[in-house]
Structure 1
Amino acid sequence: MAAPLDLDQLQTFVMICDTGSFTRAADEVHRTQSAVSMQMRRLEERIGKSLFEKDGRSNRLTEEGERLLSYARRLLHLNRETLAAFDDRSLEGQIRIGTPDDYADRFLPEIMARFARSNPRVELTVICEPTPGLVEHIKRGNLDLALVTHNDARQSEVVRREPLLWVTSANHATHEREILPMAFGRPNCVWRRSACDVLDRMHRDYRVLFTSFSATVIAAAVLSGLALSVLPECALRPGMRVLGESDGFGLLPDCKIGIMRGHTANSEIVEALARHIAESLDNISVPSAEEAPAFDLAALSAMRGRRHKPANLMPGW
């Protein structure tokens, strides 16, 4: 039977990736740099693959290193979750969280299930509203934490970045109309303003036919062929088609998803949930071809390619 992986080695490996440096990782795990290097050599021996490769004076993750990083994060999270389940001093209390419904559909099942397992004594109260409403709730002390669409005017911590995409029905040619019918959120919606700016620069005639704060309503208008809209990658649904530059639609800015913290007394629980959300969103994948067979995957892949993540670069050992 193969020997299990060493969690201390995985913790050091993840810390190297997060800090971008063997030296900084050594400080974080309270080891010498030579001890960290030895841990990584032993981990590579255990995996049977090289995890780092030279890139000039720096090191970068190999393809196998990228694969291991995802597994390592999940193993470490499960370890913390297991210990918390048997900790009589685990967090206890209530926390109020808010999120737009388009994020709720994709992210909440994973977030709530994993947080509840790790913190069975914490009661979650969840409300779904558009980001502007959630910001007001945070200011008034009605929420402890909110998952929001980030912009530079809001003091949120960005935890996920996705392409914002033009979407239409896969079964209708709505995007070929001379005057484009559009379905958007309210006038203060960041995505709506971004889409209108791009349409204006493209000199495309359009008319806003549907306005709603509900992602379900917007999706219904798109899927029925009544309108086009813009959605982040996480909100795509089967039956939608992604439109790209080859269809005559300009590139939109990225959608940034952020966390806002309220001024409440539950700081320990808030920080635990915020950390949990950041880890969960890092592990949640985008829709696959099996999950969304009607997506225009070529256009979607092109959009992803324009926004690829930079390679993990790390200074020398």
Structure 2
Amino acid sequence: MSTLRDLVEEHTSLGSEDIDHLHRLAGDWQLLSDLSFADLLLWVPVNGDESFLCVAQVRPTTAPTAYQDDQVSRTVGGPEVAHLTIAYRQGRIWREGDPVWYGDTPARHEAIPVRLRDADGEPGGVIAVVGRDTNLSTARTPSQLELNYLTTADDLAQMMADGTFPPMSHRIETTSAPRVGDGLIRLDASGKVTYASPNAQSAFRRLGLPSHLVGEDLAALFARLADDPLEGTDASARVLAALGGEAPSRKEIEARGATVLTRALPLKPAGVPIGGWCWCAT
């Protein structure tokens, strides 16, 4: 099967930096798919922008897929790609339109433009489009956890359109990183916890936190709970780095005989620093 790089090099004129950015995205988008409860398809324009070629695909682990068949290497055009064309030409997220049907499966289409920023941090043109397609067959009123997942997913989608997700400095993790279902923590711009999923709360109880996470300063909490003061300082610094717009690598925290794997990333949709998010897994 052709790889993302093979398909892009064969069918487009995108340069190596553009392709590297698409690889970073495809290496980190399982989280976005799971947060969105949706399939993500990476499309590049061919034949001008009259048709689009799917060069990568990921299915959610948190919801049913909208596609039973593999879409990679599929080229589509005409009315079927109208939403992709709008996102590509106008450089904005497309969310309009009625549900579509794939056989017996109703689905909602969205299209997110993908940008790459230059060395000075300035956004460039749109290089690809991510289709975010949600299977609506099991639609229901979302829980608080699901609403926080969706809110975080929308923030990351806007950052993708801005060219800030995934960040240029981001390294694709080569070993297992926290998964979306392990535990989600949202932070405001000051670093205070505004939401903690039940699994995140359980992880911090194992570290020795008897109270609820909401309202806690996460960086200060890491420093307070860690058995090793140096490790606590390092974990605290990574949270502060994420709040400052960086993308630090994952970190293990040890306390009271428990170990929690964490990863903090910034939230900066439309260039506005609104806080950060952190995964944690035991």
Q: TM-score, normalised by structure 1?
A: 0.25
Name the structure, 1 or 2, with higher relative contact order (CA <8 Å, separation 6+). Answer: 1
Q: Which has the higher helix share?
A: 1
Q: Which has the higher strand share?
A: 2
Q: TM-score, normalised by structure 2?
A: 0.28
Q: Who wins on radius of gyration, i.e. which is larger?
A: 1
